[in-house]
Amino acid sequence: MDLGLVGKVAFVAAASKGLGRAIAEEFAREGAKVVMCSRDEAAIGTAAREIAAATKGETLPVAADLSKKEDCERFINAGLEKFGRMDVLIVNAGGPPPGRFEELDEAAWDKAYQLTLMSAVRLVKLALPELKKTKGNVVFSTSTSVRQPTQYVALILSNALRAAVHGMLKTLSKDLGKDGIRVNAVQPGRVHTDRIDSLDADTAKRTGRSQEQVATGWHAQIPLGRYGDPREYAAAAVFLASERASYITGVSLQVDGGMLQAMF
């Protein structure tokens, strides 16, 4: 299937590893030019070079800490200076650390607020003038915890703030339709990344089980019986951003192997 992404420019936030990197590589495989950022300059440079080598695509690495306004600006401005346009914005950020409510102080909440919610606000605000020109779209990478937060009781920072992101994106999908801009989200379940490994390790420590036992317990809750591969998640995100999804907006797509059992 031709996704119509050849020559398009996709900005992928938090793309040095994990889901963000997988999305960046999938865009490059589809012929898009990719602007990708991470707070770790060496890591994002390496990821960009490896993706370019594997796909023969064009990538631009940008060092940017998305919890800071000036770094969000640097990410967007660098890509526009290099490629002159924006067709897709993937809003993504590393998840806040685990912790139960009583373990977290106001500083932890403030840090998570800046990274999870305000990075999304700033990136979209910076992107809108360009997306109006191209009739582009925004895809938010979030979490299935938006639909079922109680499955992750030690991720209250993520649960609370990603819900705010979803409220924003659903409103934007209504407001920006008149400009031809689509706004959607992809919600990963247990897709195997370093983040999932660290969360399983945290659960193991809290419960006195091994990390392998924790993972096996999750597998038992997933109808497909396994964790997802980042490439499977990336394929869904890139499809939503493509011309093949031109009549889809305001959608939050679960990519979770059937883990969430609710109808809505």
* Same domain flag for 145 and 107: yes
Residues 6+ apart with CB under 8 A from 161: 96, 112, 113, 116, 117
* Same domain flag for 150 and 64: yes
pLDDT-derived band at 114 (thresholds 50, 70, 90) equals very high
Q: Give 55-73 pLDDT, tens digit per residue.
A: 999 999 999 999 999 999 9
Answer yes or no: is 87 within a domain: yes
* Same domain flag for 151 and 223: no
Answer yes or no: is 203 within a domain: yes
Answer yes or no: is 71 within a domain: yes
* Same domain flag for 50 and 80: yes
* Same domain flag for 152 and 63: yes
For residue 46, pLDDT beyond 90: yes
* Same domain flag for 166 and 217: no
Q: How many domains does the chain have?
A: 2
- Tallying the residues shown for the chain, one arrives at 264
Q: Of 18 and 263, which is predicted with more confidence?
A: 18
* Same domain flag for 141 and 86: yes
* Same domain flag for 43 and 93: yes
For residue 82, pLDDT beyond 90: yes
Give the CATH number for residue 241.
Answer: 3.40.50.720
* Same domain flag for 89 and 220: no
Answer yes or no: is 260 within a domain: no
Q: Give 194-236 pLDDT, tens digit per residue.
A: 999 999 999 999 999 999 999 999 999 999 999 999 999 999 9
* Same domain flag for 222 and 235: no
Task: Using the CB atoms, write b or e for 116-149: b if 16+ within 10 Å.
Answer: bbbbbebbbebbbebbeeeebbbbbbbbbbbbbb
* Same domain flag for 102 and 197: no
For residue 117, pLDDT beyond 90: yes
For residue 260, pLDDT beyond 90: yes
For residue 264, pLDDT beyond 80: no
185: domain range? Answer: 9-191+231-252
Which pair of structure tokens corresponds to residue 131?
A: 């997306």
* Same domain flag for 116 and 223: no
> How much of the chain, in percent, has pLDDT values that exceed 90?
93
- pLDDT for 52: 98
Answer yes or no: is 204 within a domain: yes
